Amino acid sequence: MNLMRYSQSWNGVTPKFPCQICGKGDWCSVSNDNESRICRRVDDGSGHHRVDKSGGEYWLYRNGTIFPALKSLPTPRSASPEVAGIDTLDSAYSSLLARLTLEPNHFENLRKRGLSSKEIHFRGYKSLPSNRIEVAHNLVTEFGEESCSKIPGFYFTKVRDQKIWSLAGGTGILIPCREIHGKIFALKIRTDSSESGSRYHYFSSRKHNGPGAICKVHVPKHTGTSSILIRITEGELKADIATALTQVLTLSIPGVSMWRSVVPVLRELNAQTVRIAFDSDADTNPIVARALTQTKTALLTEGFQVEVETWKNN
């Protein structure tokens, strides 16, 4: 095997051409020759486990062939430019959300999911409108072009040698994704249209040759919630709603196979019991079943008490 081939460039997947491993239309990559794939969600047992410079996990696949356990496998070159630091991301995304409103139909959608008006306001959901050039211009004026070029979701086009800044993504509900200290590291969009498959997409500039979103554990805003018992699931909005309705802090991992990334967060929160709550397809989906078993075993090994619950997809 010629290992030097893995130094070639990689292209991000799209909803139209999704990852062949996890079936999702974002975050993962495929090589130019279409022979190698990087999946950042799913470990089906045939990929080579790697960790990138930012600490994110991924699995390297080559047409379904198991990679040899070689330490010399190079880290694939990122298809996305540099991303701004967490403080800049938090400031820019907070400023963006402050300039937006929540449209009535989006407010009602959240209410039907069980969230009160107080919770909706507390968690900072806003609507990403179709007319956004003015908002983008004001944010670029505030933070500068250099910073905004490193913020996923911001991009510019040139019209008659003039830069026109805008915001990427379809119209929908913006969901703040927060790290353990409450800072916003990314935004998730629940799009109004499901024509491209999943309604949930990261606020990202990848389609415009800009930076892709940071994907890591989401810790919902919470007050008066004990961290002795913590639930883990997949889906930021689902985690927010579960936290609000059950008063059990519920963390969201980027994918069911990304359980390793949640362990240090659980440690920092001083969790004692961890409740695993993946979707109910664990009985029929071998990938989810494998992830559930691996997660449970790993958490027990780490010394946590473990509980398992399931719920229906929504």
Distance CA 80, CA 27 (A): 10
Nearest of 142, 18, 157, 10 to residue 88 by alpha carbon:
142
Judged against a pLDDT cut of 60, whether residue 84 lies above it is answered with yes
Give yes or no on whether 86-208 and 229-308 have one common fold: no
The mean pLDDT value for 89-106 works out to: 97
Residue 231 CA, distance from chain mean position: 18
The model's pLDDT over 121-163, given as tens digits with 9 standing for 90+, comes to 999 999 999 999 999 999 999 999 999 999 999 999 888 888 8
Judged against a pLDDT cut of 70, whether residue 313 lies above it is answered with no
For residue 123, the model assigns a pLDDT of 97
Cβ density class 5-29: b for 16+ within 10 Å, e for less: ebeeebebbeeeebbebbebbbbbb
Judged against a pLDDT cut of 80, whether residue 219 lies above it is answered with yes
Identify the band that residue 71 occupies on the pLDDT scale cut at 50, 70 and 90: very low
Q: What is the DSSP letter of 122?
A: H
Helices (H) and strands (E) in the chain, counts: 8, 15
Q: What is the pTM of this model?
A: 0.77
Domain ranges of the chain: 9-62, 86-208, 229-308
Q: How many CA atoms lie within 13 A of 148 on its CB side?
A: 22
Distance CA 93, CA 182 (A): 13
The model's pLDDT over 192-214, given as tens digits with 9 standing for 90+, comes to 986 656 788 899 998 898 998 98
Average pLDDT over the chain reads 84
Distance CA 168, CA 193 (A): 15
Judged against a pLDDT cut of 90, whether residue 186 lies above it is answered with yes
The model's pLDDT over 19-62, given as tens digits with 9 standing for 90+, comes to 877 777 777 888 877 788 888 777 666 777 777 655 566 788 88
> What percentage of the chain reaches a pLDDT higher than 70?
84
Which fold would CATH assign to domain 229-308? Dna Topoisomerase Vi A Subunit; Chain: A, domain 2 (3.40.1360)
CA 168, 238, 277, 227 torsion-angle sign: positive
CATH architecture of 86-208: Alpha-Beta Complex (3.90)
For residue 1, the model assigns a pLDDT of 35
Q: What is the DSSP letter of 77?
A: P
Residue 21 CA, distance from chain mean position: 17
